[in-house]
Amino acid sequence: MFPTKLITTPVIWELGQKFKVITNVRQASVNDEIGLVSLSLDGEREEIKRAVAWLEELGVKVEPVEIQTIEG
């Protein structure tokens, strides 16, 4: 999930440049408030972990596709 301030930043391109991961967008919806992207990341486990940490530092909320595994 991208906050508004990142809308003009090419986050996924940068991700592919900075880390040895293969990115593949499977689904996306963007409006003027928020962008939701289902992104598959292929690569070494540690490299993916670093990539996710970088995204989070940037202010992107990252969840596994199995969102909401905690229930009431």
Partner 1 sequence: MDKPSPYFSNLKCRECGKLYPKEAIHVCDFDFGPLEAAYDYEAIGKVLTRQLIESRAHTMWRYRELLPIDGEPTVGTQVGFTPLVKADRLAKALGVRELYVKNDTVNYPTLSFKDRVVSVALSRARELGFKTVACASTGNLANSVAANAASAGLKSYVLIPADLEQGKVLGSLVYGTNVIGIHGAYDQVNRLCSEIAGKYGWGFVNVNLRPYYAEGSKSMGFEICEQLGWHIPRHTVIPMASGSLLTKIHKAYGEFTKLGLVDAAPFSVYGAQATGCGPIAQAMKRGTDIVKPVPKPETIVKSLAIGTPADGYYAIHAMRDTGGFAEDVTDEEVIEGIKLLAECEGIFAETAGGVTTACTRKLIETGKLPRDESIVICITGHGLKTQEAIVGKCGAPRVIKPSLREFEEQVYNPDAAAATA
Binding site for partner 1 (CB under 8 A): 1, 26-27, 29, 31, 33-34, 36, 38, 40, 61-72
Distance CA 52, CA 58 (A): 10
Q: Give the shortest CB-7-to-partner 1 separation in angstroms.
A: 14
Q: Give the shortest CB-61-to-partner 1 separation in angstroms.
A: 6
- For partner 1, the closer of residues 12 and 62 by Cβ is 62
Residue 20: closest CA among 45, 53, 39: 45
- For partner 1, the closer of residues 17 and 27 by Cβ is 27
CA dist 67 to 7, 17, 19, 33, 50, Å? 23, 27, 24, 20, 20
Q: Give the shortest CB-25-to-partner 1 separation in angstroms.
A: 10
